Structure 1
Amino acid sequence: MLESKMKLVGKIREAHGLKGDLYVLVFSGEIAWAKRMKTFGLKAKDSDEIKTFTVERTKPFKKGLIVKAAEVADRTAAEGLEHMEFFIDDELMVSKPGETIFLSEIKNFKLKNPEQTVLGEIVGFSSNGVQDLLVVETTDGKTAEVPFVDAFIKKIDFKHQAVVMDLPEGLFDIENA
Protein backbone atom coordinates (compact mmCIF):
# COMPACT_ATOMS: atom_id res chain seq x y z
CA MET A 1 0.00 0.00 0.00
CA LEU A 2 1.22 3.47 -0.78
CA GLU A 3 0.90 6.15 1.87
CA SER A 4 -0.76 8.46 -0.66
CA LYS A 5 -3.59 5.89 -0.87
CA MET A 6 -3.75 5.52 2.90
CA LYS A 7 -5.43 7.73 5.46
CA LEU A 8 -4.27 8.04 9.07
CA VAL A 9 -7.32 7.39 11.27
CA GLY A 10 -5.93 6.30 14.61
CA LYS A 11 -3.24 4.48 16.53
CA ILE A 12 -2.73 1.13 18.20
CA ARG A 13 -3.57 1.82 21.82
CA GLU A 14 -2.64 -1.61 23.19
CA ALA A 15 -2.73 -5.35 22.75
CA HIS A 16 -6.11 -6.84 23.64
CA GLY A 17 -6.38 -10.38 24.95
CA LEU A 18 -3.97 -13.25 24.36
CA LYS A 19 -4.56 -14.06 20.68
CA GLY A 20 -2.94 -10.99 19.10
CA ASP A 21 -5.93 -8.68 18.90
CA LEU A 22 -5.21 -4.95 18.69
CA TYR A 23 -7.20 -2.14 20.29
CA VAL A 24 -7.22 0.69 17.75
CA LEU A 25 -8.06 4.12 19.12
CA VAL A 26 -9.84 5.88 16.23
CA PHE A 27 -9.35 9.64 16.46
CA SER A 28 -12.84 10.53 15.22
CA GLY A 29 -14.58 7.67 17.00
CA GLU A 30 -16.36 6.96 13.69
CA ILE A 31 -15.87 3.37 12.48
CA ALA A 32 -18.57 2.91 9.82
CA TRP A 33 -15.80 1.87 7.41
CA ALA A 34 -14.51 -0.97 9.63
CA LYS A 35 -16.80 -3.70 8.25
CA ARG A 36 -15.48 -3.08 4.72
CA MET A 37 -11.81 -3.01 5.75
CA LYS A 38 -9.81 -5.90 4.27
CA THR A 39 -6.32 -4.57 5.03
CA PHE A 40 -4.76 -1.82 7.11
CA GLY A 41 -1.37 -0.24 7.47
CA LEU A 42 0.80 0.45 10.50
CA LYS A 43 3.66 2.92 10.71
CA ALA A 44 6.01 3.84 13.51
CA LYS A 45 6.19 7.60 14.11
CA ASP A 46 9.90 7.65 13.28
CA SER A 47 9.49 5.72 10.02
CA ASP A 48 8.22 6.45 6.52
CA GLU A 49 7.29 2.83 5.83
CA ILE A 50 3.72 1.62 6.19
CA LYS A 51 3.51 -2.13 6.69
CA THR A 52 0.33 -3.81 5.42
CA PHE A 53 -1.71 -6.27 7.48
CA THR A 54 -4.67 -8.50 6.52
CA VAL A 55 -7.86 -8.21 8.58
CA GLU A 56 -9.30 -11.42 10.01
CA ARG A 57 -12.02 -9.75 12.08
CA THR A 58 -13.07 -6.45 13.66
CA LYS A 59 -15.51 -5.37 16.33
CA PRO A 60 -16.42 -2.01 17.87
CA PHE A 61 -14.71 -1.31 21.19
CA LYS A 62 -14.69 1.83 23.37
CA LYS A 63 -13.44 4.75 21.23
CA GLY A 64 -12.42 2.61 18.29
CA LEU A 65 -12.28 -1.05 17.45
CA ILE A 66 -10.59 -4.36 18.06
CA VAL A 67 -8.79 -5.72 15.01
CA LYS A 68 -7.30 -9.16 14.52
CA ALA A 69 -4.63 -9.27 11.82
CA ALA A 70 -3.59 -12.55 10.19
CA GLU A 71 0.07 -11.59 10.61
CA VAL A 72 -0.17 -11.04 14.39
CA ALA A 73 -0.02 -14.44 16.09
CA ASP A 74 -0.17 -13.62 19.80
CA ARG A 75 -0.18 -10.98 22.52
CA THR A 76 3.61 -10.58 22.42
CA ALA A 77 3.49 -9.74 18.71
CA ALA A 78 0.56 -7.37 19.32
CA GLU A 79 2.45 -5.59 22.12
CA GLY A 80 5.25 -4.91 19.64
CA LEU A 81 2.79 -2.85 17.57
CA GLU A 82 1.50 -0.63 20.37
CA HIS A 83 1.48 3.13 19.65
CA MET A 84 1.93 2.65 15.90
CA GLU A 85 -0.11 4.88 13.60
CA PHE A 86 -3.12 3.11 12.03
CA PHE A 87 -3.91 3.72 8.35
CA ILE A 88 -6.79 2.56 6.17
CA ASP A 89 -7.34 2.63 2.43
CA ASP A 90 -8.66 6.08 1.56
CA GLU A 91 -11.42 4.48 -0.55
CA LEU A 92 -13.06 3.43 2.73
CA MET A 93 -13.48 7.12 3.56
CA VAL A 94 -15.88 7.92 0.72
CA SER A 95 -19.54 8.33 1.64
CA LYS A 96 -22.40 6.97 -0.41
CA PRO A 97 -25.19 9.33 -1.54
CA GLY A 98 -27.42 10.12 1.43
CA GLU A 99 -24.76 9.19 4.01
CA THR A 100 -22.94 11.63 6.25
CA ILE A 101 -19.77 12.73 4.48
CA PHE A 102 -16.25 12.24 5.75
CA LEU A 103 -14.56 15.61 6.20
CA SER A 104 -11.60 14.44 4.13
CA GLU A 105 -13.93 14.30 1.11
CA ILE A 106 -14.20 18.10 1.03
CA LYS A 107 -10.55 18.94 1.62
CA ASN A 108 -9.34 21.36 -1.08
CA PHE A 109 -12.94 22.32 -1.95
CA LYS A 110 -13.74 26.01 -2.36
CA LEU A 111 -15.83 27.63 0.37
CA LYS A 112 -18.47 29.89 -1.16
CA ASN A 113 -21.25 32.08 0.14
CA PRO A 114 -24.82 31.75 -1.25
CA GLU A 115 -23.98 34.39 -3.89
CA GLN A 116 -21.23 32.01 -5.13
CA THR A 117 -18.38 34.30 -4.07
CA VAL A 118 -15.31 32.24 -3.21
CA LEU A 119 -14.33 32.91 0.41
CA GLY A 120 -11.35 30.56 0.41
CA GLU A 121 -10.20 26.97 0.17
CA ILE A 122 -10.73 24.25 2.78
CA VAL A 123 -7.19 23.22 3.72
CA GLY A 124 -7.83 21.21 6.87
CA PHE A 125 -10.05 20.49 9.83
CA SER A 126 -10.16 21.17 13.54
CA SER A 127 -12.62 20.92 16.40
CA ASN A 128 -13.67 23.11 19.28
CA GLY A 129 -14.95 20.08 21.18
CA VAL A 130 -18.56 20.75 20.25
CA GLN A 131 -18.40 20.80 16.46
CA ASP A 132 -16.10 20.24 13.53
CA LEU A 133 -14.35 23.30 12.14
CA LEU A 134 -13.22 23.87 8.58
CA VAL A 135 -9.75 25.39 8.37
CA VAL A 136 -10.01 27.78 5.45
CA GLU A 137 -7.23 29.63 3.67
CA THR A 138 -8.87 32.86 2.59
CA THR A 139 -8.37 34.42 -0.82
CA ASP A 140 -5.86 36.83 0.75
CA GLY A 141 -3.80 33.99 2.25
CA LYS A 142 -4.99 34.22 5.86
CA THR A 143 -6.42 31.29 7.81
CA ALA A 144 -9.86 31.13 9.43
CA GLU A 145 -11.85 28.43 11.22
CA VAL A 146 -15.50 28.04 10.25
CA PRO A 147 -18.02 25.89 12.18
CA PHE A 148 -19.18 23.05 9.92
CA VAL A 149 -22.76 22.82 11.16
CA ASP A 150 -26.00 21.96 9.36
CA ALA A 151 -27.49 25.38 10.11
CA PHE A 152 -24.83 27.07 7.92
CA ILE A 153 -24.44 24.45 5.16
CA LYS A 154 -26.55 25.15 2.08
CA LYS A 155 -24.96 22.75 -0.40
CA ILE A 156 -22.01 20.44 -0.85
CA ASP A 157 -21.28 20.38 -4.57
CA PHE A 158 -18.99 17.46 -5.36
CA LYS A 159 -19.15 18.10 -9.11
CA HIS A 160 -17.72 21.62 -8.74
CA GLN A 161 -15.76 20.87 -5.54
CA ALA A 162 -17.43 23.58 -3.50
CA VAL A 163 -19.15 23.95 -0.15
CA VAL A 164 -21.78 26.69 -0.05
CA MET A 165 -22.42 28.09 3.41
CA ASP A 166 -24.63 30.91 4.65
CA LEU A 167 -22.57 32.23 7.54
CA PRO A 168 -23.78 34.74 10.12
CA GLU A 169 -22.56 38.25 9.45
CA GLY A 170 -19.13 38.82 10.96
CA LEU A 171 -18.35 35.13 11.47
CA PHE A 172 -16.24 34.96 8.36
CA ASP A 173 -15.13 38.47 7.53
CA ILE A 174 -12.40 38.24 4.91
CA GLU A 175 -11.07 41.65 5.91
CA ASN A 176 -10.44 40.47 9.49
CA ALA A 177 -9.72 36.77 8.97
Structure 2
Amino acid sequence: MQVQVARIGKPHGIKGEVTALVLTDAPDSRFAVGAEFVVEPATLGTLTVKSSRWNKDILLLGFEGTTTRNDAELLRGATLYFESEDDEDDDAWYEHELLNLEVRVGKTKVGKVTGLRTLAVQDLLIVEDNDGDEVLVPFVDEIVPEVNIEDGYVLLTPPAGLFTVNKESAENDETGEAADLSGTGTAGTEGTPE
Protein backbone atom coordinates (compact mmCIF):
# COMPACT_ATOMS: atom_id res chain seq x y z
CA MET A 1 0.00 0.00 0.00
CA GLN A 2 1.26 3.49 -0.82
CA VAL A 3 1.23 5.87 2.14
CA GLN A 4 1.39 9.65 1.74
CA VAL A 5 4.15 11.12 3.93
CA ALA A 6 4.74 14.68 2.69
CA ARG A 7 3.74 17.45 0.35
CA ILE A 8 6.54 19.53 -1.15
CA GLY A 9 6.35 23.28 -0.63
CA LYS A 10 8.41 26.17 -1.89
CA PRO A 11 12.13 26.12 -2.66
CA HIS A 12 14.54 27.08 0.12
CA GLY A 13 17.78 28.79 -0.84
CA ILE A 14 19.58 28.32 -4.15
CA LYS A 15 20.96 24.77 -3.84
CA GLY A 16 17.80 22.80 -4.63
CA GLU A 17 16.33 22.33 -1.14
CA VAL A 18 12.56 22.42 -0.62
CA THR A 19 10.27 22.84 2.37
CA ALA A 20 8.05 19.87 3.18
CA LEU A 21 4.65 19.62 4.85
CA VAL A 22 5.19 16.52 6.96
CA LEU A 23 2.33 13.98 7.06
CA THR A 24 4.00 11.26 9.14
CA ASP A 25 4.62 10.73 12.83
CA ALA A 26 8.25 9.68 12.29
CA PRO A 27 9.83 12.29 10.01
CA ASP A 28 13.43 11.79 11.18
CA SER A 29 13.48 8.12 10.22
CA ARG A 30 11.15 8.41 7.23
CA PHE A 31 13.24 11.15 5.54
CA ALA A 32 16.69 9.72 6.26
CA VAL A 33 19.36 10.17 3.60
CA GLY A 34 18.86 7.52 0.91
CA ALA A 35 15.10 7.16 1.43
CA GLU A 36 13.28 6.77 -1.88
CA PHE A 37 9.77 8.02 -2.59
CA VAL A 38 7.14 7.53 -5.25
CA VAL A 39 6.00 10.97 -6.43
CA GLU A 40 2.65 12.28 -7.60
CA PRO A 41 2.52 13.53 -10.31
CA ALA A 42 4.18 10.44 -11.73
CA THR A 43 5.96 12.48 -14.43
CA LEU A 44 8.48 13.47 -11.73
CA GLY A 45 9.56 9.84 -11.33
CA THR A 46 10.97 8.80 -7.96
CA LEU A 47 12.93 11.00 -5.57
CA THR A 48 15.83 9.95 -3.35
CA VAL A 49 16.68 12.02 -0.27
CA LYS A 50 20.15 13.60 -0.48
CA SER A 51 19.82 15.79 2.63
CA SER A 52 17.32 16.26 5.43
CA ARG A 53 17.43 18.92 8.13
CA TRP A 54 15.19 21.03 10.31
CA ASN A 55 15.08 24.82 10.15
CA LYS A 56 13.15 25.61 13.35
CA ASP A 57 9.96 23.60 12.84
CA ILE A 58 10.18 23.31 9.03
CA LEU A 59 11.65 20.21 7.39
CA LEU A 60 14.04 21.00 4.52
CA LEU A 61 14.75 18.25 2.01
CA GLY A 62 17.32 17.95 -0.76
CA PHE A 63 16.96 15.28 -3.46
CA GLU A 64 19.46 13.66 -5.77
CA GLY A 65 19.48 15.46 -9.12
CA THR A 66 17.85 18.59 -7.67
CA THR A 67 20.69 21.10 -7.43
CA THR A 68 19.23 24.51 -8.25
CA ARG A 69 16.33 26.65 -7.13
CA ASN A 70 14.74 26.14 -10.57
CA ASP A 71 14.94 22.34 -10.11
CA ALA A 72 13.31 22.72 -6.69
CA GLU A 73 10.53 24.92 -8.11
CA LEU A 74 9.54 22.08 -10.46
CA LEU A 75 8.80 19.89 -7.40
CA ARG A 76 6.46 22.41 -5.72
CA GLY A 77 3.10 20.81 -4.87
CA ALA A 78 4.26 17.24 -5.48
CA THR A 79 3.22 14.56 -3.00
CA LEU A 80 5.63 11.96 -1.62
CA TYR A 81 4.55 8.35 -0.97
CA PHE A 82 6.34 5.27 0.31
CA GLU A 83 5.43 1.61 -0.02
CA SER A 84 4.15 0.15 3.25
CA GLU A 85 4.04 -3.60 3.77
CA ASP A 86 1.84 -3.56 6.86
CA ASP A 87 -0.56 -1.43 8.82
CA GLU A 88 1.25 -0.30 11.94
CA ASP A 89 -1.78 1.10 13.76
CA ASP A 90 -5.39 0.02 13.35
CA ASP A 91 -6.60 3.40 14.66
CA ALA A 92 -4.51 5.52 12.29
CA TRP A 93 -5.67 6.79 8.92
CA TYR A 94 -3.93 8.67 6.18
CA GLU A 95 -5.40 11.67 4.40
CA HIS A 96 -5.89 9.82 1.11
CA GLU A 97 -7.98 7.17 2.94
CA LEU A 98 -10.27 9.80 4.48
CA LEU A 99 -10.87 11.97 1.40
CA ASN A 100 -14.49 11.98 0.17
CA LEU A 101 -15.80 9.80 3.00
CA GLU A 102 -19.42 10.63 3.82
CA VAL A 103 -19.77 12.41 7.16
CA ARG A 104 -22.75 11.29 9.24
CA VAL A 105 -24.38 12.34 12.48
CA GLY A 106 -26.41 9.27 13.40
CA LYS A 107 -27.84 8.11 10.07
CA THR A 108 -28.03 11.63 8.61
CA LYS A 109 -25.45 12.73 6.02
CA VAL A 110 -24.08 16.16 6.97
CA GLY A 111 -21.21 16.44 4.48
CA LYS A 112 -18.02 14.84 3.20
CA VAL A 113 -14.35 14.84 4.21
CA THR A 114 -12.24 17.09 1.97
CA GLY A 115 -8.97 17.04 3.86
CA LEU A 116 -6.97 16.46 7.03
CA ARG A 117 -5.00 19.17 8.81
CA THR A 118 -2.26 17.69 11.00
CA LEU A 119 -1.31 19.85 13.96
CA ALA A 120 0.95 19.40 16.97
CA VAL A 121 -1.85 19.03 19.54
CA GLN A 122 -4.58 17.30 17.51
CA ASP A 123 -5.58 16.73 13.93
CA LEU A 124 -8.58 18.39 12.29
CA LEU A 125 -10.89 16.83 9.71
CA ILE A 126 -11.83 19.33 7.03
CA VAL A 127 -15.49 18.71 6.21
CA GLU A 128 -17.56 20.29 3.46
CA ASP A 129 -21.10 20.40 4.84
CA ASN A 130 -24.28 19.96 2.77
CA ASP A 131 -24.37 23.73 2.09
CA GLY A 132 -20.81 23.72 0.71
CA ASP A 133 -19.30 25.43 3.76
CA GLU A 134 -16.03 24.27 5.35
CA VAL A 135 -16.19 22.97 8.92
CA LEU A 136 -13.09 22.02 10.95
CA VAL A 137 -13.80 19.01 13.16
CA PRO A 138 -11.37 17.98 15.93
CA PHE A 139 -10.25 14.44 15.03
CA VAL A 140 -10.62 13.00 18.54
CA ASP A 141 -12.46 9.88 19.74
CA GLU A 142 -15.14 11.88 21.59
CA ILE A 143 -16.22 13.68 18.40
CA VAL A 144 -15.23 11.12 15.74
CA PRO A 145 -16.01 7.75 17.37
CA GLU A 146 -16.04 5.74 14.13
CA VAL A 147 -14.14 5.79 10.84
CA ASN A 148 -15.35 3.10 8.44
CA ILE A 149 -13.15 3.10 5.35
CA GLU A 150 -14.77 -0.03 3.87
CA ASP A 151 -18.31 1.36 4.01
CA GLY A 152 -17.17 4.89 3.15
CA TYR A 153 -18.24 6.99 6.10
CA VAL A 154 -17.14 8.84 9.24
CA LEU A 155 -19.52 8.99 12.20
CA LEU A 156 -19.57 12.18 14.28
CA THR A 157 -20.99 13.09 17.67
CA PRO A 158 -20.43 16.84 17.34
CA PRO A 159 -20.89 19.30 20.18
CA ALA A 160 -23.86 21.64 19.85
CA GLY A 161 -23.26 24.37 17.30
CA LEU A 162 -20.26 22.83 15.52
CA PHE A 163 -22.04 22.95 12.15
CA THR A 164 -24.12 26.09 12.79
CA VAL A 165 -22.29 28.59 15.00
CA ASN A 166 -20.51 30.43 12.19
CA LYS A 167 -23.53 30.30 9.87
CA GLU A 168 -25.76 32.03 12.42
CA SER A 169 -23.37 34.96 12.80
CA ALA A 170 -22.88 35.17 9.02
CA GLU A 171 -26.65 35.22 8.44
CA ASN A 172 -27.06 38.00 11.00
CA ASP A 173 -24.30 40.01 9.29
CA GLU A 174 -25.99 39.58 5.91
CA THR A 175 -29.44 40.66 7.12
CA GLY A 176 -28.10 43.49 9.22
CA GLU A 177 -30.05 42.30 12.24
CA ALA A 178 -28.46 42.16 15.64
CA ALA A 179 -28.14 38.77 17.26
CA ASP A 180 -30.16 38.17 20.40
CA LEU A 181 -27.57 37.51 23.07
CA SER A 182 -29.86 38.05 26.05
CA GLY A 183 -31.54 34.67 25.83
CA THR A 184 -35.00 36.27 26.12
CA GLY A 185 -35.89 35.69 22.49
CA THR A 186 -36.28 39.37 21.55
CA ALA A 187 -33.63 41.54 19.98
CA GLY A 188 -35.35 44.72 21.15
CA THR A 189 -38.77 46.12 21.98
CA GLU A 190 -40.63 49.16 20.90
CA GLY A 191 -43.22 51.04 22.82
CA THR A 192 -43.88 54.09 24.90
CA PRO A 193 -43.61 54.18 28.65
CA GLU A 194 -46.92 54.60 30.48
Q: TM-score range by the shorter chain?
A: 0.5 to 0.7
TM-score (norm 2): 0.57
Taking a change above 3 Å as real, the CA distance of residues 93 and 136 of structure 1, as seen in their structure-2 partners, is farther
Across the aligned residues of Structure 1 and Structure 2, the Cα RMSD in angstroms comes to 4.1
Q: Structure 1 residue 55: deviation in Å?
A: 1.1
**Matched residues in 2 for 1:14 and 1:42: separation?**
21
Alpha-carbon deviations, 1:95-137, whole Å to 9, x = none?
Answer: 9351632223211001112x23211112335589975443333
Matched with 2:71 is 81
**Matched residues in 2 for 1:157 and 1:96: separation?**
15
Correspondence list, 1:40-79, <5 A = 41=39, 50-55=43-48, 57=50, 59-62=52-55, 63-69=58-64, 71-72=65-66, 77-79=67-69
**Matched residues in 2 for 1:94 and 1:106: separation?**
20
**Percent of residue pairs bearing the same amino acid type:** 12
SS in 2 for 1:10: strand
Instruction: Report the structure number with the largest CA radius of gyration.
Output: 2
Are positions 1:159 and 2:150 aligned together? yes
**Matched residues in 2 for 1:39 and 1:128: separation?**
23
Correspondence list, 1:28-177, <5 A = 28=22, 30=24, 31=27, 34=31, 38-39=36-37, 41=39, 50-55=43-48, 57=50, 59-62=52-55, 63-69=58-64, 71-72=65-66, 77-84=67-74, 85-90=76-81, 96-98=87-89, 100-113=92-105, 115-125=106-116, 132-139=123-130, 141-150=131-140, 151-173=142-164, 176=167
Q: Structure 1 residue 93: deviation in Å?
A: 9.2
**Which one has more relative contact order, counting CA pairs under 8 Å at least 6 apart?**
1
**Matched residues in 2 for 1:33 and 1:137: separation?**
31
Alpha-carbon deviations, 1:30-80, whole Å to 9, x = none?
Answer: 44754695245598xxxxx943354154535332243331x34xxxx3333
TM-score (norm 1): 0.61
**Matched residues in 1 for 2:158 and 2:92: separation?**
21
C-alpha contact 2:9 2:18 (8 A) present in aligned 1: yes
